[in-house]
Amino acid sequence: MMEVYVGIDLGSTTTKAIVLDDGGHVIGQGITNSRSNYVIASKVVREEAFVRTRFTITRESALRAVSDAGVALEADFFPSIERNFRLQQYLEQLGALHDAMFRVAETARHKAYVDDLKSRLDAMCSGMRNDARVYFAPGAVRKSDFFRDLAGADYMARAEAMAEPKGITFDTLCGVFDSAILTVENITFEGAFERHIGVALEDTLREAPPEVRRFSDRLRDIVESARLLYLSESGTAGTGYGRQRLPFPKEQIRSEILCHGLGAHAMFPGTRTVLDIGGQDTKAIQLDSEGLVTSFQMNDRCAAGCGRYLGYIADEMNVGVHELGPLAQQSSQRVKINSTCTVFAGAELRERLALGQSREDILAGLHRAIILRAMSLLARSGGVRDEFTFTGGVAKNPAAVAALHDLVRENYGKRTLNTSPDSIYTGALGAALFALRAAERRAA
Amino acid sequence: MTTVRKEDSMLLQKQMIGDHYERLSHAGDEGRKVVYTFVPGNLNELVRSFDLLPLLPEINALQSGMRKLSGNYIAEAEKQGHSEDVCTYVKCDIGMLKKGNIGPTGKPLPKPDLLLLSYTGCFTFMKWFELLREEYPGVPVAMLHVPYQANGRIEPHYRDYVVEQLRTEVIPKLEQVSGRAFDEDRLREMLGRSARAEDDLVWVLESAKHTPSPIDAYFGGVYYIGPIFSAFRGTEGAVDYYRALRAEVQERLDAGEGPMTPDGPLLHEKYRLVVEGPPNWTSFREFWKMFYEEEAVVVASTYTKVGGLYDRGFRHDPEHPLETLADYCLGCYTNLSLPARVDLIERYIKDYNADGFVINSVKSCNSFSVGQLLMLRQLEERTGVPGAFIESDLVDPRYFSAANIKNRLESYLQMLDQKRGAAA
């Protein structure tokens, strides 16, 4: 048995979970789209964080065992197991998608052509299954890790080829997918590690060099122990917009402000000011030396300039939201943008494009406009002190970080600006730490 | 649906308001003349001394807001060309007028016989009355110019200036409209009754200095100020109401009970807060619930001083009838300079032993909202108590984002908790 502490951050766009061991170390994390269903999202994300926890445990035990035995594992050994595992997970979800699409096909509205529709769906699904390996090959770049996005893009490309203007149309095929994906997204696929890790390990071992293969039985034992290990959830805390929907007692629900503050403090102990740009709100938080919040400001009713705004812009430009920052960084002449209104984002963008301005220059302007809005919130909350930590999903965007860096220097002078590749997990980390602290208090 | 719990005084007040709207609806038949006037620093005793009936457009608007009627009225006014940025009290009133001038209780409202603008600190009030003047051509207008307390106090020449206007502008118009001569003795009688009611109100508001507080001085407080800030100050009805209210609060105090909420008495007081700014009326109960669910009690508020400040010592004085009316007009909350407002809130935080303060910044009202962020910072610096800043509106239902406000309020209260934990 192992005692773990879980923090869940139910954001408006994505839901995140963090698992800590009793020493406060992060041993698992998970993320999923919030899909307007916080109950499912929190189950899915917990499951995902537990999968990663078991991976962590597997890796640590395996590394200890091989080092004792003097065997060297190649650097790609664990990533390979994980890729193989993800492939199995993806295939399982594809199976569920296939079944769900069949159920949609069998409804009354498709009665006239049900057999034709099913055979096309069969053909598409089997194509998707056969080609799935590509997404999980070494070095493969995925636009998104969410099943909806990955399978959706593949399906749409096949649907275009499969559709016939006078027979089963593209719209019909899209409609079937759109209905079915909702069903699939509401399946939590619990016990994924337990189901798939065996196959994933064998796939990796098959390709492994002989000296590692000789060690197979020991590795199988280690995986089996991780598979059977009982993870005892000794504390849980929730935060984020959907936190009221979490099935926890009120004392275990913490505001995002406190969680982002504590999470940022844990990641960067020198933090005194935090900026978090989330899906639908922006927060400026001031901390004391212990990570306790001394004041904060949030954006008003309007979500202008938040993560959701970037989401709309990405949709308008037909690119992934992660591609926006790198595109903006290619700008040679930044355009001045005044409005960061999410509703008008599309109109503003089309007008700029019609004026002949480049996507890169417009995006550079948009990023600066977002950060200017955040600067006003920071000023309201008491300014930018050293060190300054930028959290939330938008902190992964290099153009946003660069704009923030410049504007902070212009307005407040030199500050240490911290960002982490795991910044999106800051709130969940804070929540998990609250859960751990509460458990420690109970024990004391 | 659960039953909403109300105090006896609330029921009494409901009756008073209902009766007043009833009287207004028959004013024409009974030959009673009606004066439209505003809440801050109003001249209710003077108006009543001429046997005129006061009608307060902001009260109509907030009552319409609480009865979920304001959204349609605002839409109507916007259809007439009023911008989204115009004060929603104004748009609610104009929209109601355009939709047949049926008051919030469902009774028709009478036309004005006089438009009496007795507070000019709000520029929007002047524009509002300009609109009403256009709607009711030929109706006389009396305007009392009230100087702003720029130096943080009422200078003697401010008072002289207001008294002079009362004599030469307001009283002659009231005489003309009512057909009666000014009766100073009658006015003195009313002012005496005002002072009696004010004594009881102040006692009620200051009862919140006890821990636990027997009242909520914001959500409950807006009910407590209803009669004194509207059409009832100076009447026997108001004297009776405040006597009954005081007795009711005294009972709770003796029993060590907390304030009454729509879900019953609050059993435990976890946070003591001071609130600056008007409440949101369209989601009033939802807003209130966000506080009492967290066991947060408002122990003092500035909005309950919007008509006038009594807890700083002012009482209507029958010995100096016009001077006292002048002081009342000059002393209402939004006529205070920003430093004077900060001083006042600072005293509330200290005198009422508050854990924190919340600013509800409403989109509609510049008289309140201007300077609030600066006030927030100064108050935090002076008291060491952290403040919260939330945004909503008076009666525009589009500007109340429940999730957003709840999120901020909860975050704020948890921050107070955390601070307490750190101090312990």
Both A315 and A369 in one domain: the answer is yes
Confidence (pLDDT) at B97: 92
Q: What does A398-429 look like in DSSP terms, one character per residue?
A: HHHHHHHHHHHHHHH----EE--TTGGGHHHH
In total, the C-beta contacts within 8 angstroms joining chain A to chain B are 49
**Mean per-residue pLDDT, B340-361:** 97
| Residue in A closest to B400 by C-alpha | A301
Confidence (pLDDT) at B404: 84
Confidence (pLDDT) at B149: 94
Question: Which uninterrupted H or E stretch holds B412?
Answer: helix B402-423
CB within 8 Å: A255 and B386:
no
Cα dihedral B4→B5→B7→B9 (10° resolution): 20
Does residue A323 lie in a domain region?
Answer: yes
- Give pLDDT tens digits for B295-349: 999 999 999 999 889 999 999 999 999 999 999 999 999 999 999 999 999 999 9
* Helix, strand, or coil (residue B298): strand
Query: In whole angstroms, what is the distance from residue A283 CA to residue A382 CA?
Result: 12
Cis geometry, peptide bond prior to residue B321 (ω within 30 degrees of 0):
no
Query: Which residues pair with residue A417 across a beta bridge?
Result: A388
**Which one of B270, B358, B404 makes the best mutation probe of the A interface by having the most chain A beta carbons within 10 Å?**
B404
Does residue A108 lie in a domain region?
Answer: yes
- Give pLDDT tens digits for B203-244: 999 999 999 999 999 999 999 999 999 899 999 999 999 999
Query: In whole angstroms, what is the distance from residue B195 CA to residue A132 CA?
Result: 83
Half-sphere exposure at residue B145, Cβ-oriented, CA atoms within 13 angstroms:
7
Question: From the CA of B415, how many Å to the nearest CA of chain A?
Answer: 6
Question: From the CA of B219, how many Å to the nearest CA of chain A?
Answer: 22
pLDDT at A216 over 80: yes
* Helix, strand, or coil (residue A18): strand
Both A260 and A283 in one domain: the answer is no
Does residue A202 lie in a domain region?
Answer: no
Question: How many domains does chain A divide into?
Answer: 3
| Residue in B closest to A290 by C-alpha | B422
| Residue in B closest to A12 by C-alpha | B403
CB atoms within 10 A of CB A119: 11
Both A180 and A90 in one domain: the answer is yes
**Mean per-residue pLDDT, B40-52:** 95
Both A386 and A293 in one domain: the answer is yes
pLDDT at A241 over 80: no
Across chain A, mean pLDDT equals 90
Both A245 and A275 in one domain: the answer is no
Of B377, B391, B419, the CB nearest to A301: B391
Q: Name every chain A residue with its beta carbon within 8 A of the beta carbon of B415.
A: 255, 257-258, 293, 295-296
Q: Name every chain A residue with its beta carbon within 8 A of the beta carbon of B408.
A: 298
Both A118 and A150 in one domain: the answer is yes
Confidence (pLDDT) at A339: 72
CB within 8 Å: B373 and A380:
yes
- Give pLDDT tens digits for A377-432: 999 888 999 999 999 888 989 999 999 999 999 999 999 999 999 999 999 999 99
Confidence band of A188 (pLDDT split at 50, 70, 90): confident
Confidence band of B418 (pLDDT split at 50, 70, 90): confident
- Give pLDDT tens digits for B145-162: 999 999 889 999 999 999
What CATH number is attached to the domain comprising A278?
A: 3.30.420.40
CB within 8 Å: A293 and B415:
yes
CB within 8 Å: A256 and B411:
yes
For chain B, domains (ranges, CATH) are 8-178 (3.40.50.11890), 186-423 (3.40.50.11900)
| Residue in B closest to A293 by C-alpha | B415
Question: From the CA of B374, how many Å to the nearest CA of chain A?
Answer: 9
Task: Name the residue with tokens 């969410």.
Answer: A146
Confidence (pLDDT) at B94: 94
Does residue A80 lie in a domain region?
Answer: no
Query: In whole angstroms, what is the distance from residue A60 CA to residue A23 CA?
Result: 16
CB within 8 Å: B411 and A300:
no
Query: In whole angstroms, what is the distance from residue A435 CA to residue A439 CA?
Result: 6
Lowest-confidence segment of A239-248, B22-31, B54-63, B330-339 by average pLDDT? A239-248
Which residues of A lie inside 8 Å of B (Cβ-Cβ)?
Answer: 241, 254-258, 281, 288, 290, 292-298, 300-301, 380, 382
CB within 8 Å: A255 and B411:
yes
Of B399, B414, B418, the CB nearest to A301: B399
Confidence (pLDDT) at A72: 81
DSSP assignment letter at B85? T
- Give pLDDT tens digits for A272-284: 999 998 877 889 9
**Contact by Cβ (8 Å): A84, A211:** no
CB within 8 Å: B418 and A294:
no
Closest CA to A402 of A313, A315, A344, A324: A324
Confidence (pLDDT) at B274: 98
Task: Name the residue with tokens 């275009």.
Answer: A160
Containing structural domain, residue A303: 270-419
- Give pLDDT tens digits for B384-407: 999 999 999 999 998 888 888 998
Both A356 and A388 in one domain: the answer is yes
- Two tokens at B358? 């919340």
Both A339 and A410 in one domain: the answer is yes
- Give pLDDT tens digits for A340-391: 777 777 788 888 888 889 999 999 998 998 898 899 899 988 899 999 999 9
**Which one of A9, A293, A441 makes the best mutation probe of the B interface by having the most chain B beta carbons within 10 Å?**
A293
Both A69 and A213 in one domain: the answer is yes
**Mean per-residue pLDDT, A45-63:** 94
Both A216 and A122 in one domain: the answer is no
Confidence band of B3 (pLDDT split at 50, 70, 90): low
Degrees, nearest 5: CA angle A49-A54-A60: 125
Does residue A357 lie in a domain region?
Answer: yes
Does residue A348 lie in a domain region?
Answer: yes
Query: Which ranges of B53-87 would DSSP assign to H, the alpha helix?
Result: 57-66, 70-79
Both A280 and A262 in one domain: the answer is no
Question: From the CA of B386, how many Å to the nearest CA of chain A?
Answer: 7
Of B377, B387, B391, the CB nearest to A300: B391
Query: In whole angstroms, what is the distance from residue A216 CA to residue B64 CA?
Result: 76
Question: Which uninterrupted H or E stretch holds B222?
Answer: helix B221-224
Does residue A376 lie in a domain region?
Answer: yes
Confidence (pLDDT) at B233: 95
Half-sphere exposure at residue A205, Cβ-oriented, CA atoms within 13 angstroms:
16
Burial-class residue B151 by CB neighbours within 10 Å (0-12, 13-18, 19+).
Answer: exposed
Question: From the CA of A440, how many Å to the nearest CA of chain B?
Answer: 15
**Contact by Cβ (8 Å): A77, A212:** yes
Last residue of a domain, one of A124, A153, A185: A185
Q: Indicate the residue type of B327.
A: D
- Give pLDDT tens digits for A93-152: 999 999 999 999 999 999 999 999 999 999 999 999 999 999 999 888 877 778 998 999
| Residue in A closest to B403 by C-alpha | A241
Does residue A399 lie in a domain region?
Answer: yes
pLDDT at B423 over 70: no
Confidence (pLDDT) at A303: 67
ipTM of the complex: 0.73
- Give pLDDT tens digits for B172-185: 999 999 999 999 99
Across chain B, mean pLDDT equals 93
Query: In whole angstroms, what is the distance from residue B412 CA to residue B416 CA?
Result: 6
**Which one of A12, A254, A255 makes the best mutation probe of the B interface by having the most chain B beta carbons within 10 Å?**
A255
Query: In whole angstroms, what is the distance from residue A327 CA to residue A317 CA?
Result: 11
Both A415 and A274 in one domain: the answer is yes
- Give pLDDT tens digits for A324-350: 999 999 999 888 887 777 777 778 888
- Two tokens at B241? 């109401």
Burial-class residue B225 by CB neighbours within 10 Å (0-12, 13-18, 19+).
Answer: buried
Confidence (pLDDT) at A11: 85
| Residue in B closest to A303 by C-alpha | B404
Please state, for a pLDDT cut of 90, what percent of chain B lies above it: 84
CB within 8 Å: B386 and A295:
yes
Query: In whole angstroms, what is the distance from residue A147 CA to residue A268 CA?
Result: 32
pLDDT at B1 over 60: no
B302 Cβ contact list (under 8 Å, min separation 6): B275, B276, B277, B333, B341, B344, B345, B348
CA B309, B288, B74, B52 dihedral sign is: negative
Closest CA to B369 of B385, B349, B350, B389: B389
CB atoms within 10 A of CB A360: 19
